[in-house]
Structure 1
Amino acid sequence: MPMDRSPYSSSSSESSPFSSTSTTPSKGSTVVLSIECLKGSSKADEWTGDMLQTGDIVEELKIGTMIVSSPFKNGKSGVQRILHSSFKQKETSIRVRVRRGSDEFAELQACIVPGEQFAGKKQYVLRAIDDPNYAVGFVDRTENECLDLQASRTSRMVSALERTPLQDGYVSYPWEKRMREMLSIPNSSSFYSILFLPKASDKVGSHYNDLEDTLARAHAWINASQALGVPIVFMNIQTESLLTKISGDTASSTVNAGSLSDLSNLANTSLYGFEDYHGVDIGVVRAVRLWFSPLAVEIPIEIKIKDTDAKLGFAISRTEEGFIYISTVNESDNNAPSARSGLSNLYKQASQTSRLVVVSRISNQKVLPWMVSPTGAIRCFDTVSLSQKLSLHRHARVPILVHVFLWDRSLNFANVGSIRARAMSTHPPASPAEVHMEPQANENEVQPSMVDEDSDEYERRMSDGADIMLERDTAGEFSFRLHDFGLKDNWV
């Protein structure tokens, strides 16, 4: 159906106050009303065929029931008066029909909004209904200029591609909720690290061994920990720079800020120096940070205290690598807190498979070793102070929440990728009730020569035991043995 014509339309023989009555000049130099794109679409589709572009020739405007067609009297200024009058009458819906070339047309449904002032007069622009971010205005151009702009559309797209940057942004995130729900221990990670400072090569600590020595000591530490039965897995290793004041002859290498060639001398140094503008030597110590995680999840064990409890029923000791572990349990008292909580059964299972029950947290505080000094001493927690703290729990009748590292029988130590994935698993830990583990029935009757450990029959027999199983004696090509450390047990 053809659109209704208003008294302002220039398509009839009657003269319209907004239509041009002048003699039409030659087609190439005819001044027409053209589109000027002011702001791009937020949907990144302003270059599609149905969006108006700079250089499009305006053929028709429809505001409400009024239709105004080309040629427009007084061009841009006449159209601005139409837009101003419509805006004052609260008639802001407008449809614009444009032409490209001689036979291609496009339309835009928009609303009239005030724009910036020009020469003391308010200018009106059009914002797309379906994308308010997209705005266009009107400008007077010759038809040849419009056709040239339309022909340069491809080059303008390339130019816009080069000029348009990617913008960064921010997104709110429910950290508190995620840290409660997505971590096996709420608000705490299962990533652990130990920092190895370079070993001093003299008594006064003025010279240090090179970086390779520090890396080798970190490697030896984690290998020895695993060999002793500590259920941890290597995650990552990195160098860490620490600033310190040094004298000029202490640094293994000195870096001149104006010479990049000096940087090649720092590949294996543990201490190098800079000189600032005041002549003070600033040293950089290169330490090594080793990251590790439990081979399986950390298991929480809640030890509840009764008024009649005289002892907790277990003892703690420390390995040479600084790990706290359960060294002994009281097997004669089935009513001890260690027995009621399931810790005794867990210890028995670990002992039968030559594993350590390593204590990782007490009351959610991490108790693992965290640093190695330049003298080679390992910073870790003291067993005497830990025993005193546990005894105070018993005297105060306050339950003790202990987290321990356990082996996961289903993991293969050689498969580091899956081990790391399990170490970062968000599955919730086992409840204290699940920690009670009974000895396997007829365990001694299974002979290695009769059952292949990789067979389905072996997996079935092993799964007939407790819910939480410990790793068998060998994992991959590594064997872990429980050694007598010669340390005094700390009964609590």
Structure 2
Amino acid sequence: MTKMDRGGQSAASSSPPPPPDSPSSRGLASVLSIECLKGSSKGDEWTGDMLQTGDIVEELRIGSSVLIRSPFKNGRSGVQKVLHASFKSKDTFILVRVRRGLDEFAELQACIVPNEPAGKKQYMLRSIEDPNYAVGFCDRSEAECLHLQASRSTRIVNALSRIQLQDGYVSYRWDRKMHELLLVPNSSCFLSILFLPKASDQVASRYNDLEDTLARANAWLNASQQSGVPIVFMNIQTESLLTKISGETASSTVNASSLSDLSNLANASLYGFEDYHGVDIGVVRAVRLWFAALGGEFPIEIKLQEGDTKLGFAISRTEEGFIYISTVIDGDENVPSTRSGLSNLYREATSSSRLLVVSRVSNQKVLPWIVSSTGAVRCYDTVSLSQKLSLHRHAKVPILMHIFLWDRSLVPMSRGSSRLRMAHSRPPAMALGPPEAHLSQQPNENQVQPLPFDLSDDDIVINDNPQYRLERDTAGEASFRFHDFALPNNWV
């Protein structure tokens, strides 16, 4: 009997099937094969230990009672019925033994889980060692399985070219980390000051160029170091601040943003553009200077006792806006400054031509943080700080201050190490700066000038002379500066 092809011509009779034991019959025979459903999360997912698509299943051992070997009756559908019965009886452990080629074998220990995307009463095997790795079963010819095994290297290379890294999210205990792992809880050790470009007219419509702002930042840093403030340069960057502009300023700055003037924008402190609402927007380029203490910040706890009539130290402020301990009472072991070890650090600072700078009070930074467009340094007032310290003394509430160190070897130098409270539960501060630069300088009027101890015992000493008053720099809306008193310190 012949079979007609589509052209109507007779086709030769199909050749008889090969003998059952011949190699060709084995190649055409249907076998139970592995199908990878979910990839491993491990780096060794392509090694021989993991089952791979095209592996020929030789044996299934479920729990301790079920053992079936190849050939499997009814192939995949028959195995799925066995998996369903085992899953219903809660016997889900399975050991799969597979063959690769003629004499290479591999095993997988897994558990039977539902394969919901494949349909009802369909199951897959999830690796016990790696729950992200799952395989299923399918019916293939042995020849097809061997072809898949032989092409595995090529498929791996193709998969490598197609793979894409996926992003994700991980929850993080910020509250705990910030409280336990920072030298000052919930506060960074990164210090900076922002320099606004200096206005070249009274209405602040034009500003000096970027080079002028950089030069002023450089001068402030050099002056701070020369006055004895133990800081070191870390980094500098420009920051863009948006502002509305109009009139002649708008036309000049918007026109300056054309492509022909791009070379001039590199050093411009103000440039503008027009947004889609027709509003002229100006971009002011400020400079942020990052700095760090040479030896890091060091906490000092000043404990108060009944009968303390004074703290035993005075504070002042440098022209650059830093608060520092200007003098301490010497020779009196009963004042808080001596008990806490502050006097020892002050003497070390004086002998090293350094200022004992106060960086924080009650974990609040008291450092200068911005320079206005008029050149005024925004910083903290010594009068209000003196009042706060005096209130601590009256309320008998301990004072926690942080000071700038210039040498880390000074940490254990106190006579009684318990006097200087170090947060041992927290990691040591990072060495942010390079080795200390040797500043060749002579003591000047900005450095420590001890006063005789014949001042009033009151909390704050302010002369009644009108020249010792607070003045405001009204050149800007929010920029101001407290002018230093003629007296170089404020006793508390």
Which bin holds the TM-score, normalised by the shorter protein? 0.7 to 0.9
Query: How does 1:126-275 map onto structure 2 within 5 Å?
Result: 126-171=125-170, 173-247=172-246, 249-250=248-249, 253-254=253-254, 265-275=264-274
Give SS of 1:159's match: helix
Please, which moves more after superposition, 193-202 or 391-400?
Answer: 391-400
Q: Deviations over 1:440-477 (max 9, x none)?
A: xxxxxxxxxxxxxxxxxxxxxxxxxxxxxxxxxxx755
Counterparts in 2 of 1:141 and 1:429: CA distance versus 1, 3 Å: farther
Q: Is the 8 A contact 1:226 1:480 kept in 2?
A: no
Q: Is the 8 A contact 1:355 1:480 kept in 2?
A: no
Q: CA deviation at 1:100?
A: 2.4
Alignment of 1:481 onto 2:432: no
Measured in 2, the distance between the counterparts of 1:152 and 1:185 equals: 60
The code of the aligned residue for 1:46 comes to E
Measured in 2, the distance between the counterparts of 1:330 and 1:299 equals: 21
Measured in 1, the distance between the counterparts of 2:54 and 2:226 equals: 77
TM-score normalized by structure 2?
A: 0.73
Counterparts in 2 of 1:192 and 1:433: CA distance versus 1, 3 Å: farther
Partner of residue 300, structure 1? 299
Partner of residue 96, structure 2? 96
Q: CA deviation at 1:174?
A: 5.0
The code of the aligned residue for 2:388 comes to K
Please, which moves more after superposition, 27-36 or 222-231?
Answer: 27-36
Q: Deviations over 1:139-196 (max 9, x none)?
A: 1223332222222101111122233333445555554554455443344333221110
Q: Is the 8 A contact 1:297 1:429 kept in 2?
A: no
Partner of residue 113, structure 1? 113
Alignment of 1:34 onto 2:25: no
Query: How does 1:227-376 map onto structure 2 within 5 Å?
Result: 227-247=226-246, 249-250=248-249, 253-254=253-254, 265-305=264-304, 308-331=307-330, 335-376=334-375
Q: Deviations over 1:327-363 (max 9, x none)?
A: 2344586644444444444434433443222222223
Q: CA deviation at 1:381?
A: 1.2
Counterparts in 2 of 1:219 and 1:88: CA distance versus 1, 3 Å: same
Please, which moves more after superposition, 267-276 or 149-158?
Answer: 267-276
Q: Is the 8 A contact 1:253 1:269 kept in 2?
A: no
- State, as a whole percentage, how many aligned pairs show the same letter: 72
Q: CA deviation at 1:370?
A: 0.8
C-alpha RMSD of matched pairs (Å): 3.5
Q: Is the 8 A contact 1:355 1:481 kept in 2?
A: no
Counterparts in 2 of 1:141 and 1:237: CA distance versus 1, 3 Å: same
Give SS of 1:166's match: coil
User: Between Structure 1 and Structure 2, how many residues are aligned?
Assistant: 416
Q: Is the 8 A contact 2:253 2:273 kept in 1?
A: no
Give SS of 1:488's match: coil
Q: CA deviation at 1:302?
A: 3.8
Q: CA deviation at 1:127?
A: 2.3
Counterparts in 2 of 1:300 and 1:148: CA distance versus 1, 3 Å: closer
Q: Is the 8 A contact 1:355 1:482 kept in 2?
A: no
Please, which moves more after superposition, 193-202 or 270-279?
Answer: 270-279
Measured in 1, the distance between the counterparts of 2:189 and 2:213 equals: 25
Please, which moves more after superposition, 216-225 or 171-180?
Answer: 171-180
Give SS of 2:115's match: strand
The code of the aligned residue for 1:194 comes to I
Counterparts in 2 of 1:86 and 1:261: CA distance versus 1, 3 Å: farther
Q: Is the 8 A contact 1:200 1:375 kept in 2?
A: yes
Measured in 1, the distance between the counterparts of 2:61 and 2:396 equals: 84
Give SS of 1:321's match: coil
TM-score normalized by structure 1?
A: 0.73
Q: Is the 8 A contact 2:96 2:108 kept in 1?
A: yes
Q: Deviations over 1:417-462 (max 9, x none)?
A: xxxxxxxxxxx8987944989xxxxxxxxxxxxxxxxxxxxxxxxx
